[in-house]
Chain A
Amino acid sequence: MDWTRRSAAELVEALAAGEVTSVELTTAFLDRIAEVDGQVRAFLHVDAEGALATARASDERRAAGELLSDLDGVPIAVKDVLTTAGLPTTCGSKILEGWIPPYDATVVRKLKEAGLPILGKTNMDEFAMGSSTEHSAYGPTHNPWDLERIPGGSGGGSAAAVASFQAPLAIGTDTGGSIRQPGAVTGTVGVKPTYGGVSRYGLVALANSLDQAGPVTRTVLDSALLHELIGGHDPLDSTSIPTEMPSFVEAARVGAGKDLTGVKVGVITELRGEGWQPGVMARFDEAVELMVSAGAEVVEVSCPNFVHAMAAYYLILPAEASSNLAKFDAMRFGLRVLPEGVDAPSAEEVMRATRDAGFGDEVKRRIILGTYALSSGYYDAYYGQAQKVRTLIARDFEAAFAEVDVLVSPTAPTTAFKLGEKLDDPLAMYLNDLATIPANLAGTPGISVPSGLADEDGLPAGLQVLAPALADDRLYRVGAAVEALLEEKWGGAILDRAPELKGASA
């Protein structure tokens, strides 16, 4: 029995039925990591010892009938942007090489309190800046569908770990699409919850007003299970929402019944058309037809300000990031580089040398952009203007959700591109987040569900479902329905069509 091929929900059942122990499961995933991660490079750090200890404790609890949660004993991988007490946290940056945080992020604490063995920390674009995981200081992650291609970014490590069966569940973070876009290009499910739905405490901030942690899984139901576990109010994060959320698992189970009668679906006019890969659009159009066949009412909806979302995003993000990254000053943690040829360097000289060596090009680029955008005399023209656009985008959503229950679009305009292809063209790289960014600006939730394989390259494409703030349950209802309908059409999960990795036993 290859446990690594099962969904988390199936593993929960197998554990409950006594067919497998958590130690066996954890061992199976650790073996898979040992077998294939040399090619995929999804992990920056693997904690076999810690994961097995947690698994042993879980098995003991199960024997005593004292489970901590539904997912007790199911292993998980965590993006390296969340702090883990006693485990390295690098954010994909040299500047944090060797840093071991003294505390757990709230999400990590919740995973530990729920009894999930943490397999390790996954690779990412440095400080989550990028759409391809090529900006990691520790080298790129490879897409399990084609090792010469990118796994998406910035959470390419988490998506690739799940897509290559190295982990059944993973945690990602989504600032402009970093959960959903990697999900789309690796054939996995990725959810960006409502802003404030999952605590940001311990999430090393890229852009505080946009960042949101969420699940990366193989199925919609698995995401719902994980989302319920990590969500909820956290007094340590004052932006976290104190209200109770509806049940996501319940919504996913309803959706799996493939009935969308009475659901009004809006297709966003601005997120389709020229520049979108035909194979991606074909899969999207088919998915929309399936929704109609399941009883959904589909209408075209215009969100006219979405065309400005990218520009606003690339002002707000660097502005906040430039301030967040100021703390990396070589004084208290992480890397410290002494300038060459200076006898008694000043604090400023040490800071300069450390940052020069410790930050990558993309990070430096965005710090400069952000510093400029916040400078006196430019604030109103750039940051202030971007915030106004943000308000307009939120109004577009409000107007659209007055008409429809959910909005849909392809998650990313193309399938995975080749490693290195867009590395020298930051603007082309940024275009990948075109469809995902509006939800971050508005604080609304979104999910990416695999929509099939593009005809021209045989690579996965994603369908994005967007809902109003606090209505995350709609993502699970519609997402689970689309997933079930597509499985029926494709004769199984899309991820099962991924090529077996070289050197891995079948």
Chain B
Amino acid sequence: MSGLDERSTELVSFEEALEKYDPAMGLEVHVELNTLTKMFCGCPTEFGAEPNTQVCPTCLGLPGAMPAVNRKAVESAIRIGLALNCDIAEWCRFARKNYFYPDMPKNFQTSQYDEPIAFDGFMDVTIEGADGEPETFRVEIERAHMEEDTGKTLHVGGATGRIHGADYSLVDYNRAGIPLIEIVTRPIMGARDRAPEIAKAYVTQLRQLIVALGVSDARMDQGSIRADVNLSLAPKGTGGLGTRTETKNVNSLRSVERAVRYEMRRHAAVLESGSSILQETRHWHEDTGVTTSGREKSDAEDYRYFPEPDLVPVAPSREWVEELRGTLPENPTQKRARLQAEWGFSDLEMRDTVGAGALLLIEETIAAGTTPQAARKWWLGEMARRANETGTEIDALGVTPTQVAQVQKLVDAGTLNDKLARQVFDGLLAGEGTPEEIVAARGLAIVSDDGALGAAVDNAIAANPDVADKIRDGKVAAAGALIGAVMKEMRGQADAGRVRELILEKLA
């Protein structure tokens, strides 16, 4: 052990860390595929089913049961590989990764080891350059390989939910055998102070790509996409790799950035104190923003890989690979340039859009019949604020692009103003029905009927004789105060333009 308790170690500042060290990052992203059946058997993959209701002899690892590869999962793996500019193996195999863990039915995981389905690719990640202009950083992809997920354990009786102190443990094997693709980068060097930002941008863009491919729900909050962050520091300018740590459980885009930043500061602190970094797994804590030591990962860990003898090799024909290449979505960089031109967004607007993970949402909202500016206003203004308040991503809020477009149509038709529209969103989030139903049920429509408005205008004039006099004297700008009074009386539901006209008519 280093003798340093990470909780009592004084972190050095980020800037100080960079003065002496160069970071090297490696990102491992697991993507749970949305195939209808599991990787090696015909069990359904639906999320949230009753424990152990989606299992069979194969995914339970019962004696005698055998795996058979899900062709759809291979197809998704190839499409991901192609989208990441990888070579697709002409011939590859599954291997057994042998280790003991209670949530793993066979006590080995069927995975790919030295023969991944996809390898040697890259992704160009767009970040904001020093001058505020978009800048591209190339992240090299070492491999994307197929494997099966494990089950889930639940430790009951302890205070912490951890195995220590628990009375007993329960295992749910519904998730065991769900297809996973693990995408591994080469060490990302030369990122320097941009390392945390690049890490976040990479995972964000990767997630967008996965969504665009339609191969996964890519929900970080449900674990269908999970990132592990490897980090090491080397003395500045040496170009080497230091001892690395692997931080697990990084379950939001924001946390990817925070975890890299934290580990850089912690590594620097440990190295500065004269100790050395332990090669270990670390756990990320979302609430406190720190990592803590998991199990030590030493050379003693030996997975005893060997080719899975129960499966024949996977040998995708070149015709099939080319056919799948034809199904790829547009290259994200080109797509972004095209959309920015189509939508007339400024560089800043576009960067904010991408940063918020709203590109696809805005695209769909426009497709549902709104203007680009209106779509951007709702997603980056209203939805981003709400997501921030509830600590989730904007696409996890539960409001769909179609609903946003419907609300905007009501605004365009003069039924709602922006303020009332926000109340419709409240209703949508509370599951009160469609925007029209919410307008009706909550009585939110703007009143432009002269009868109702006229009475309110009369009341306002009567209550504010001084203001009325000013307007009569030609100080038209003072009308704002009377409009405010009318709005107050009408609980915001008055058509402001018509109210102004009525005031000016009456005081002419």
Name A residues whose Cβ lies closer than 8 Å to a Cβ of B: 82-83, 89, 91, 96, 99, 101-103, 105, 200-205, 207-209, 235-239, 319-320, 322-323, 326-329, 331-333, 347-348, 351, 371, 374-376, 379, 383
Contacts and interface: CB of A to CB of B under 8 A. Distances in A.
A103 B62 contact: yes
B374 interface: no
11 contacts: A101-B64, A102-B57, A208-B309, A235-B68, A238-B66, A239-B312, A320-B309, A326-B98, A327-B105, A347-B102, A383-B306
Contacts of B60: 332
Contact of A202 (B65, B67, B68, B108): B65
Contacts of A328: 63
Interface string B288-313: 00000000000000101110011110
B73 to A, nearest CB: 13
B315 to A, nearest CB: 12
B304 A204 contact: no
Contacts of B311: 238-239
A66 B102 CA distance: 49
Interface of B: 57-58, 60-69, 96, 98, 100, 102, 105-108, 171, 302, 304-306, 309-312
A20 B106 CA distance: 47
B310 A208 contact: yes
Interface centre among B62, B67, B171, B309 (most CB of A within 10 A): B309
Contacts of B67: 238
B251 to A, nearest CB: 26
B64 A329 contact: no
Contact of A96 (B63, B98, B105, B107): B63
Contacts of B69: 238
A202 B310 contact: no
A374 B64 contact: no
A322 B108 CA distance: 11
B304 A201 contact: no
Contacts of A83: 57, 62-64
A180 to B, nearest CB: 21
Nearest to A207: B309
Contacts of B57: 83, 101-103
B64 A323 contact: no
Contacts of B102: 331, 347
B243 to A, nearest CB: 19
B310 A238 contact: yes
A99 B171 CA distance: 20
B106 A327 contact: yes
A205 B310 CA distance: 10
Contacts of A202: 64-65
Contacts of B68: 235-238
A323 B304 contact: yes
Contacts of B309: 207-209, 239, 320
Given A82-B64, A376-B302, A329 B98 contact: no
B304 A376 contact: yes
Given A105-B64, A201-B64, 16 more contacts: A101-B62, A102-B62, A103-B64, A208-B310, A209-B309, A236-B58, A237-B66, A238-B66, A238-B312, A239-B310, A322-B98, A327-B61, A328-B63, A348-B100, A376-B304, A379-B306
Nearest to B98: A323
A91 B98 CA distance: 22
Contacts of B96: 323
A96 B62 CA distance: 11
B62 A329 contact: no
Given A83-B63, A102-B62, A238-B312, A326 B106 contact: yes
A415 B302 CA distance: 43
B20 to A, nearest CB: 34
A55 to B, nearest CB: 26
A185 B171 CA distance: 47
B64 A203 contact: yes
Nearest to A328: B63
B62 A201 contact: no
Contacts of A101: 57, 62-64
A236 B312 CA distance: 12
Nearest to B173: A332
Contacts of B100: 326, 329, 348, 351
Contacts of B62: 83, 101-103, 333
A347 B304 CA distance: 21
A99 B102 CA distance: 20
A383 to B, nearest CB: 6
Nearest to A203: B64
A199 to B, nearest CB: 9
A320 B306 CA distance: 9
Nearest to A196: B312
A327 B64 contact: no
Contacts of A105: 64
Contact of A332 (B105, B108, B306): B105
A236 B302 contact: no
A112 to B, nearest CB: 16
Nearest to B40: A238
A348 B102 CA distance: 10
B66 A236 contact: yes
A207 B171 CA distance: 28
A455 to B, nearest CB: 42
A131 B471 CA distance: 111
Nearest to B300: A376
Shortest 7 CB-CB contacts between residues of A and residues of B:
A326-B107, A208-B309, A374-B304, A209-B309, A202-B64, A204-B63, A83-B64
Nearest to A326: B107
B66 A89 contact: no
Nearest to A90: B63
A203 B66 CA distance: 9
A202 B69 CA distance: 17
B416 to A, nearest CB: 57
A201 B310 CA distance: 10
Given A323-B96, A323-B98, A201 B65 contact: yes
B312 A204 contact: no
Contacts of A209: 309
A363 to B, nearest CB: 14
B63 A327 contact: yes
Contacts of A332: 60-61, 105
A205 B98 contact: no
A379 B305 CA distance: 9
Interface centre among A103, A207, A235 (most CB of B within 10 A): A103
A205 B65 CA distance: 9
A329 B66 CA distance: 18
A201 B64 CA distance: 6
A461 to B, nearest CB: 33
A214 to B, nearest CB: 16
A205 B107 contact: no
A268 B98 CA distance: 39
Nearest to A331: B102
A315 B384 CA distance: 60
Interface centre among A105, A235, A238, A379 (most CB of B within 10 A): A238
